[in-house]
Structure 1
Amino acid sequence: MATRSAPGEGRELLSTHDPAGEAGRAALEALLADALERPVAIAAVVPLSGGANSMTWRLDLAPTVPRGPERVIFQRSANGLGLTRRVQAEVMRRAAALGVPVPPVIAVPAPETGLGDCVITGFVEGEALAPRWLRDDRFLSARAALPGQIGAALARLHAPPPSHWDDLPLGGGSGAALLETMFETYRRIGVDVPAFDLAFAWLRPRMPETPPTALVHGDFRAGNFLVDTRGLAAVLDWELPHFSVPEEDLGWLCVQAWRFGARLPVGGFATREALVAAYCAAGGTVEAQSLWTWEVFGNLKWGMSCLQLADDHVSGRVPSIERAAIGRRVSEVAADLVHAIARGDL
């Protein structure tokens, strides 16, 4: 899947650090042998960064004749939240059929394997850490190509009607309904952030009440792309797809947090105008007048994510210093929201 840096990267690990111990390694080897239709031995297990909801490992397979060494990605849910890996895998397969670049799904282990809620995908070369591909001169051409590639990927994902995905247990709703669900979470947590109160009040009369028109990725942003020297290699992290409108994905891509200190509003690498032009050139349609509303919604959604992660730690549900540290970013988002609503830009 990626060259995500993490402790242990670049060195072999002892079996005690495997994702499921010796029994898990044997189960993985048997599963891979069946999926790849050849004998498989795992030579090394390398942990990769996986986000708040996932644990991720790269499995280096021993050389076989006539094939050489191969790598695959093993990803397992960390907390049981979000869609199951089996549903995520099916969304990825269908997205790939639409022309969206995604890591190929190799296998979804059955519960009886004892491996947990997990998926095995192919390894795709590329850089997932956005600050690297945003700044490194090796990715200069890639950054120039990204607006067109990303616009096209989103347009392809959004093209089918919701009925294309009807057999999958996916949620969603109108913009107004999504905002109300977020507000209920805000009240449940019980922490008052005046800038969030302002944002909810500003958004409430502006969010559409019309039904969803497409499946959205839900977390389409810099940091969830694999980028190589030619541009977009794969779209990662299919944990949050749901029914909404295209503007939700487009606005989320423009959230301040996903610029990683770079100047340009679309993930630090493009202008809003370039993104919309690329999206429309690939067959997508967007209501330009509502895009800013969804960008403000996206900034609030990120702020609520920070608040939720902090609450996970403080409540004891998921004790985690990382979640507590991310929670401190609520103040950054509060400042962004006030600026965005007052100035009409961010």
Structure 2
Amino acid sequence: MQDERQQLLDALQALAPRLVPGGGPVAELRRLSGGASQQTWAFTVGGTPLILRRAATAEHGRNHGSAGLENEAVLITAARAAGVPAPAVRHVLRPEDGAGQGFVMDRLEGETLGRRIVRDPALADARRVLAQQCGAAMARIHGLATEHLPRLRTACARAELDFQAKLHKSHATVRPVFALALQWLARNAPADVAQPVLVHGDFRNGNLMVDAQGLRGVLDWELAHLGDPMEDLGWICVRSWRFGGGKALPVGGFGTREALCAGYVEAGGRLDAARLRWWEMLGTLKWGIVCESMVQSWIDGTEPELEKAAIGRRASETESDLLALLAEEAA
């Protein structure tokens, strides 16, 4: 770890003049997070706070179903130009930089922890406007001209449902609620949108930077793809992202669907309430299957970290959430 840090420090110091006018000493380099595929590092150049996102290895930079870090940088830049709150990208790494695959961007100030966003008294005013701001940001993302974007995978309703069904089947587990949800989703699957748009893919509480004025930045674009715009609106409403906010505040635990949709329409988005509900159901099931995948990887020893087992147990929570959604649809 120390060797990795020193190598990265040396590479960033060589890059300093490209990152900040006049350059300056690189300091306060620390790793914020990083799993098997991506790392996030914080550092300063001449006192200017920056963030480095990079692939853990060259292999992970090329695949794993993500948009790819170079594409992420392009998408963030395009979204920011369209009025989406997002950090400015300062440099996309090149092979000769010696720092791997990734990009450097401004470090924003604000809160990212979902539970604090929902509960912190200092963010009370922000919570009153946050759902509407999220809706507006989504509309601007969905409104980007796809012909000017990098080549991305396309995943609309039927393809995403088929993928989740196959993934669940591969686990060889017996979960009657998942089976019931899959049946409902298959019966009610909407036709694929005629013109897929840019979808963030993970727009939720926990991937947002929030300050006292509200939405400061939309983060973590690695799952961006082309698809149905209602996917993003449904995903932020999944109960798992409410952090105790409860049924009255379905949007991230901080806002109402009405506020989210109002912000979306006011910023030029076209709303389809039935599709939104379908994507909320699929999103709930999807997170349950992700949890199921984590516990399976812990059981078979491929990912022995205790965190995998701890998150994996939440599959049962999504079963309860799915039953509540199914009951609402049947009412």
In the superposition, the TM-score normalised over structure 1's length comes to: 0.86
Q: 1:169-208, aligned counterparts within 5 Å? A: 169-208=151-190
CA contact (8 A) 1:177 1:209 kept: no
1:321 equivalent to 2:306? Answer yes
Residue in 2 that maps onto 1:158 = 142
| 1:215/1:242 contact within 8 Å kept | yes
**C-alpha distance 197-329 of structure 1, shift in aligned 2 (>3 A):** same
Q: Check conservation: 1:217, 1:238, Cα contact below 8 A.
A: yes
Among 259, 263, 266, the residue aligned to 1:274: 259
Q: CA deviation at 1:52?
A: 7.1
Distance verdict in 2 for CA 1:135–1:214, change over 3 Å: same
CA contact (8 A) 2:67 2:225 kept: no
Q: Which residue of 1 aligns with 2:292?
A: 307
Corresponding residue number in structure 2 for 1:10: none
Question: Structure 1 229/17 Cα, relative in aligned 2: closer, same or farther at 3 Å?
Answer: farther
Is 1:71 the counterpart of 2:55? The answer is no
- Closer/same/farther in 2, CA of residues 312 and 91 from structure 1, 3 Å limit: farther
- Contact 1:72 1:120 survives alignment (8 Å): yes
Deviation at 1:50, TM superposition (A): 5.1
Residue equivalent to 1:256: 239
8 Å Cα contact 1:98-1:156 kept in structure 2: yes
The whole-number CA distance in structure 1 between the counterparts of 2:97 and 2:313 is: 39
Match of 1:227 in 2: 210
Asked if structure 2 preserves the Cα contact closer than 8 Å seen for 1:84 and 1:117, the reply is no
> Judging changes above 3 Å, is the alpha-carbon distance between structure 1 residues 315 and 33 closer, same or farther for their aligned structure 2 residues?
farther
Cα 1:104–1:17, aligned 2, differ >3 Å: closer, same or farther? farther
Tell me how far apart the structure 2 counterparts of residues 317 and 37 of structure 1 sit (CA, whole Å).
45
**How far is 1:213 from its partner?**
2.7
> Counterpart of 1:296?
281
Q: What is the match of residue 215 of structure 1? A: 198
Q: Deviations over 1:120-150 (max 9, x none)?
A: 1111111101211211111111111212211
Q: How big is the shift at 1:76?
A: 2.4
Choose from 320, 323, 326 the match for 1:341.
326
Normalising by the residue count of structure 2, what TM-score does the alignment of the two structures yield? Answer: 0.90
- Contact 1:255–1:299 at 8 Å: present in 2 too? yes
Alignment partner, residue 116 of structure 1: 100
Deviations along 1:60-119, one digit per CA (max 9) or x if unpaired, are 33x4xxxxx221112223472323211111111111111111111111212344423322
Assess if the C-alpha contact under 8 Å between 1:172 and 1:178 holds in 2: no
Deviation at 1:187, TM superposition (A): 1.8
Q: Distance in 2 between matches of 1:330 and 1:148?
A: 30
Q: Which residue of 1 aligns with 2:15?
A: 31
Per the TM alignment, residue 335 of structure 1 is displaced from its structure 2 partner at its CA by 1.4
Match of 1:4 in 2: none
Task: Give the AA of the match of 2:212.
Answer: T
User: Which ranges of structure 1 fall in alignment gaps of 5 or more residues?
Assistant: 1-15, 64-68
- Give the Cα separation in 2 of the matches to 1:91 and 1:315: 37
Specify whether residues 17 and 261 from structure 1 end up closer, same or farther in structure 2 by C-alpha distance, changes over 3 A only. farther
Structure 1 residue identity aligned to 2:304: P
**2:131 touches 2:263 (CA, 8 Å); kept in 1?**
yes
Aligned mates of 1:195, 1:17 — CA distance in 2: 47
Coordinate RMSD, CA, aligned: 2.0
Moved more, 288-297 or 45-54: 45-54
What is the percent sequence identity of the aligned residues?
Answer: 40
**Whole-Å Cα distance in 1 between the matches of residues 131 and 191 of structure 2?**
30
